[in-house]
Amino acid sequence: MTQFLSPPSNNDFLAHCSRGSTPQVVSLVGAGGKTSTLFWLANALYQRGARVLITTTTRMQFPDPRIGTQCIIEADFETKLARINALGKSPGITALFSVFDEHLQKVAGCLPVEVDALKAAGVADVILVEADGANHLALKAPAEHEPCIPASSDVVTALTGSEAILRPAQATNIHRWAKFSELTGVREGEILDAAVFERLLTHPQGMFKNTPAGALRHWLINDHSTGDGTYNRTENSAILAMLESLKLADLALDGLWLGDMRNPNPFTHAWVRNNTMQKDFR
């Protein structure tokens, strides 16, 4: 059975995107707003009393100090571990990186095996990992070395920017275009429709490539259609109709979420796997 949440709440997302136990690792992949989603998740989990650790297995922008994040930059893993443990067990958000590139204002984080070790050490209730790169584009296909998902991940959330849906495919707007075209069979100028996304979601080399067996799989469509950061209830009926046409239960998804992650209460529509009830998708 499936369940449709109308409208979904922040608590719905947090509950369905977790195993309900700690420690756990949540890895974000794909394109179209991973970093903003990571910090939204960190703050929401912290507000619920969690110890949250943020890191990346690739590179990401240096955290904005205004979000109240403690930042540890340390190359040696044992020193990383000691510094985190010294923070104690009070709720909070800690960002953990290995190197800071001052010129690019980017940080490199942990190796996937280091994330696995951090989870085993119980240094946080939730470890949030930006495990992919997309060059600030709304859609991508992973290269051979991507995504860098820790084996201990309990949840993998794949992002897509809504501006890529039902639009013509453009090589300049899709990260790893050659790989994307090969994987989906779409050519430049063709519409990115339901068939394209179904293949991207289900192909072993597609959106959920390298997801550990048993990890929950959530697809998050980040809706920036208003362009100004205002609250958006997503009246784009064409996108909603396309999503409804997908055989969600057959796509090995545990959830589909639609919302603007720039907003405090972002979610407008959702579908989640559930054994007990089903409601309309609104």
Read off the pLDDT of residues 131-145 as tens digits, 9 standing for 90 and up: 999 888 999 999 999
Mean pLDDT within 154-177: 94
Query: Strands 2-5 and 267-273: what pairing?
Result: antiparallel
Asked if the model's pLDDT at residue 196 lies above 80, the reply is yes
Domain of 37 in residue numbering reads as 2-50+129-273
Residue 278 has pLDDT above 90, yes or no: no
Which of 160, 66, 152 shows the shortest CA–CA distance to 110? 152
Whether 242 is covered by a domain: the verdict is: yes
- For helices 194-202 and 177-184, the axis angle rounded to 10 degrees is 100
Residue 18 lies in a domain: yes
Is residue 218 a part of any domain in this protein? yes
Q: Strand, coil or helix: what is 81? A: helix
Q: Is 9 a domain residue?
A: yes
- The single-letter DSSP state of residue 110 is -
Q: How many domains, the chain?
A: 1
Q: Encoding tokens for residue 241?
A: 């109709």
Does the residue 72 lie in any domain? no
Give me the pLDDT at residue 83, please: 94
pLDDT above 70 (res 227): no
Q: pTM of the entire structure?
A: 0.91
At 73-131, the pLDDT tens digits run: 999 999 999 999 999 999 999 999 999 988 888 899 999 999 999 999 999 999 999 99
Query: Mean pLDDT of all residues in the chain?
Result: 88
For residues 150 and 17, the model is more confident at: 150
Domain assignment present for 109: no
- DSSP, collapsed to helix, strand or coil, labels residue 35 as helix
pLDDT at residue 112, as a whole number: 97
CB 101 within 8 A of CB 107: yes
Residue 106 lies in a domain: no
Give a yes or no: residue 34 inside a domain. yes
Question: Cα dihedral sign for 117, 120, 122, 124?
Answer: positive
Note the pLDDT of residue 212. 97
